[in-house]
């Protein structure tokens, strides 16, 4: 029995037998006691590669749009941008729970290997497509192939934590889960740096980098990994549950995606009837999904797992921390590429590289604190580290909120280092605590459920944070644009037309490192201006100067929202200390007994 003070689960006799069987298979494997390191290195590689690919495009979009000769302000360009950026995550999100369920039925290692192969094949196709198709068709081709990549990533996300939980004994899982969780969360942060560096060399390399890693991982997984947990072939696939879940989540994610686009005279699309109807339909389908899962014999989504308080509170904290982190990454990229770097004389073509370099404190903070936190949580318990990490994030967000748009780098670097440390301290203990709390035979589905929350949290954060940012920017954008271009002797009617630029369009232009004033002021108008006024309007920092004050208003709203999410994540982590003492039985084909919930 484990130390109750640390909030670790107490397994019943059946679960102990399952654990003992897994331990025996692990010891008898051809790699013996070294198998756990084979599993850790391979699953960490897979998680790192899949998560890097989920974020690498976020910072590389300027180079990609420029390389494919796509005008960011052209009709339909925003749709292309959003799908290219989010298609991978949407596909992973809607498939990962189903894959986790299938992994429990047909083998975690088998489906993990399949995921590596799919991901590698899709990576090759994406790289080839980036050379042979250009323009809007090129963006569309990349988006479709990225969907296939996302499917492969779903296989990897769904099974990594489950394979590790099987491979490591109980007293070492915190460290193992920590490395895997660091790879997932850290990969999404490292992808920003990698994308910036490769953009400066050759933007095609953004799609090539995953090919050799994918091929190596595919071969390595096939040779080194093998099944330890029993395959539960007696179960049936929950077809209706799978369909309602996938359709509901897809519709909701699409509504969130188009909700941040302009609609009519509105800066966002939340008043768009199609968005409203999609949200309502998605929610209704999700309610139907929950109803189905409560009555079917072999559900794909074990809702009874949420009766385990560690699982429920831990995953809620994970969702909130993921939303805060995703919004932070998106905000910092716009802040650096669209405002701060141009104001400091960096050309738009070089902003991805420099932005990646300037985000190094965030990456270093995460990579330093994550392994240390995972190791210490094995000795001293998970709750205190997860709680402290989110409290550090809370103060980090408030620190960023106090900064001007044109900040001094040293305090900015300290703030994002704090945020990286906080995320690292939280991730490892949270993962180990939740995965150790579930019965051994449900680790595949549990891993898939957590991976879904990580991906969905990014989508929610993008919708929520971007909408809040648009609201804040809209407060001052129109007078800033109007007065700014009027000061350069542009006619009043032209200045008024420019001032009507939607806040969302202005922010997308900033994200892509593009000065929209060049498109909004035609050659006829420019011919009436002096050479001095023309050079200012078309300069690198003109639009960034006009956007800085409005951005400050939006940025503060977003940072306060991030701080609030981090605070609640800390609260849920803090109260999550003795919850694993309640281990309700779960409905399945084995008819596991159901002890009373404590």
**CATH code, domain with 124:** 1.20.1250.20
Residues 106 and 16 in one domain: yes
Q: Tell me, yes or no, whether 401 lies in a domain.
A: yes
pLDDT for position 287: 92
Residues 452 and 494 in one domain: no
pLDDT for position 592: 39
Q: Which residues contact 329 (CB under 8 A, 6 or more apart)?
A: 55, 58, 188, 189, 192
- Looking at the structure of the chain, the number of domains it has is 2
How many angstroms from the chain centroid is the CA of residue 433?
A: 21
Sign of CA dihedral 487, 491, 492, 493: negative
* Start-end of H helices in 438-575: 443-474, 477-486, 492-499, 503-511, 517-520, 523-527, 531-537, 542-574
Residues 471 and 483 in one domain: no
Residues 38 and 110 in one domain: yes
Write out the two tokens for 271. 């008043």
pLDDT for position 577: 52
Q: Tell me, yes or no, whether 184 lies in a domain.
A: yes
The pLDDT tens digits for 139-191 are 889 999 999 998 998 888 778 777 887 787 766 766 676 677 777 777 777 88
Which domain does 112 fall in, by range?
Answer: 4-237+300-475+550-576
Residues 110 and 196 in one domain: yes
pLDDT for position 262: 74
H-helix or E-strand spanning residue 193: helix 173-201
Rounded distance between C-alpha atoms, residue 121 and residue 494, angstroms:
51
302-321 residues labelled b (16+ CB within 10 A) or e (exposed): bebbebbbbbbbbbbbbbbb
For residue 263, the cross-strand partners are: 266
Q: Tell me, yes or no, whether 434 lies in a domain.
A: yes
Residues 460 and 509 in one domain: no
Residues 545 and 434 in one domain: no
Residues 543 and 557 in one domain: no
pLDDT for position 576: 65
Q: Tell me, yes or no, whether 245 lies in a domain.
A: no
pLDDT for position 14: 52
CA atoms within a 13 Å half-sphere pointing along the CA-CB vector of 297: 7
Residues 381 and 483 in one domain: no
Rounded distance between C-alpha atoms, residue 86 and residue 185, angstroms:
17
pLDDT for position 3: 38
Residues 153 and 113 in one domain: yes
Q: Tell me, yes or no, whether 139 lies in a domain.
A: yes
Q: Tell me, yes or no, whether 246 lies in a domain.
A: no
Residues 527 and 392 in one domain: no
Q: Tell me, yes or no, whether 219 lies in a domain.
A: yes
Q: Tell me, yes or no, whether 276 lies in a domain.
A: no
| Ordered per-residue pLDDT tens for the chain, 598 residues | 333 334 444 445 555 555 555 555 555 455 556 788 888 888 888 888 888 887 788 788 888 888 888 776 666 677 777 788 778 888 887 787 778 778 877 888 888 888 888 988 998 999 999 989 888 888 889 999 999 998 998 888 778 777 887 787 766 766 676 677 777 777 777 888 888 888 888 888 988 888 888 888 888 888 888 777 655 656 667 778 878 888 888 888 778 778 877 777 777 778 889 889 999 999 999 899 888 888 887 777 778 888 888 888 999 999 999 888 887 888 888 899 888 998 888 877 778 888 888 988 988 898 888 778 877 877 777 888 889 999 999 999 999 999 999 999 999 999 999 999 999 899 878 887 887 788 776 776 777 677 778 778 877 887 788 888 888 898 888 899 989 888 888 888 888 888 888 888 888 888 777 777 777 777 677 777 888 888 888 777 888 888 998 999 899 999 999 999 999 999 999 886 544 344 444 443 333 333 333 3
pLDDT for position 15: 53
Residues 362 and 437 in one domain: yes
DSSP assignment letter at 84: H
Distances (CA, A) of 551 to 340, 465, 468, 514, 563: 11, 13, 11, 16, 18
The pLDDT tens digits for 9-39 are 444 555 555 555 555 555 545 555 678 888 8
Q: Which of 355, 373, 464 minimizes the C-alpha distance to 409?
A: 355
3-state percent breakdown (helix, strand, coil) of the chain, nearest 5: 80, 0, 20
Domain boundary among 533, 549, 565: 549
């Amino acid at each position: 029995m484990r130390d109750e003070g640390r909030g670790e689960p107490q397994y019943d006799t059946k679960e102990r037998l399952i654990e003992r069987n897994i331990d025996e298979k692990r010891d008898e494997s051809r790699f013996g006691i070294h198998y756990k390191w084979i599993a850790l290195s391979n699953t960490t590689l897979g998680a790192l590669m899949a998560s890097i690919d989920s974020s690498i495009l976020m910072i590389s979009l300027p180079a990609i749009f420029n390389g494919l000769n796509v005008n960011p302000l052209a009709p339909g360009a925003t749709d292309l941008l959003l799908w290219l950026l989010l298609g991978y995550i949407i596909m992973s999100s809607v498939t990962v729970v189903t894959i986790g369920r299938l992994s429990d039925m047909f083998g975690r290692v088998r489906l993990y290997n399949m995921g590596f192969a799919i991901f590698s094949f899709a990576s090759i196709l994406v790289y080839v497509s980036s050379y042979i198709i250009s323009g809007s068709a090129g963006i569309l081709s990349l988006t479709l192939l990225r969907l296939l990549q996302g499917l492969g990533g779903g296989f990897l996300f769904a099974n990594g934590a489950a394979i590790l939980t099987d491979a490591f004994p109980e007293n070492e899982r915190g460290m193992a889960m920590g490395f895997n969780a660091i790879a997932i969360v850290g990969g999404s942060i490292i992808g920003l740096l990698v994308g910036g560096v490769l953009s400066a060399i050759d933007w095609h390399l953004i799609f090539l980098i995953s090919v050799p890693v994918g091929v190596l991982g595919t071969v390595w997984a096939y040779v080194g990994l093998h099944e330890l947990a029993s395959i539960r072939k007696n179960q049936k696939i929950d077809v209706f549950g799978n369909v309602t879940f996938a359709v509901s989540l897809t519709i909701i994610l699409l509504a969130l995606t188009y909700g941040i686009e302009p609609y009519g005279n509105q800066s966002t699309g939340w008043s768009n009837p199609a968005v409203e109807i999609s949200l309502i339909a998605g929610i209704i389908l999700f309610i139907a999904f929950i109803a189905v899962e409560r009555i079917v014999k072999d559900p794909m989504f074990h809702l009874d797992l949420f009766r385990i308080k560690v699982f429920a509170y831990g995953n809620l904290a994970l969702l909130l921390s993921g939303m805060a982190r995703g919004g932070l990454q998106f905000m910092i990229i716009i802040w650096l590429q669209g405002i701060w770097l141009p104001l400091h004389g960096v050309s738009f073509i070089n902003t991805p590289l420099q932005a990646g370099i300037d985000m190094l404190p965030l990456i270093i903070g995460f990579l330093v604190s994550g392994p240390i936190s995972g190791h210490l949580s094995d000795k001293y318990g998970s709750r205190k580290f997860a709680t402290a990490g989110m409290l550090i994030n809370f103060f980090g967000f408030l620190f960023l909120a106090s900064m001007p748009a044109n900040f001094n780098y040293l305090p900015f670097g300290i703030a994002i280092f704090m945020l990286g440390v906080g995320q690292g301290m939280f991730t490892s203990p949270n993962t180990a605590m939740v995965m150790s709390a579930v019965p051994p035979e449900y680790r595949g589905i549990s891993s898939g459920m957590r991976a879904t929350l990580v991906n969905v949290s990014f989508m929610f954060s993008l919708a929520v944070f971007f909408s809040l940012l648009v609201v804040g920017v809209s407060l001052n954008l129109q007078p800033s644009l109007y007065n700014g271009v009027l000061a350069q002797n542009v006619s009043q009617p032209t200045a008024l037309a420019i001032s009507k630029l939607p806040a969302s369009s202005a922010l997308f232009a900033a994200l892509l490192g593009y000065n929209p004033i060049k498109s909004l002021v035609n050659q006829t108008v420019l011919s009436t201006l002096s050479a001095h006024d023309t050079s200012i309007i078309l300069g690198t920092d003109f639009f960034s100067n006009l956007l800085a004050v409005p951005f400050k208003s939006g940025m503060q709203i977003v940072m306060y929202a991030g701080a609030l999410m981090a605070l609640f994540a800390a609260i849920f982590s803090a109260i999550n200390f003795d919850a694993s003492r309640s281990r309700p039985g779960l409905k399945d084909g084995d008819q596991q007994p159901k002890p009373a919930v404590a």
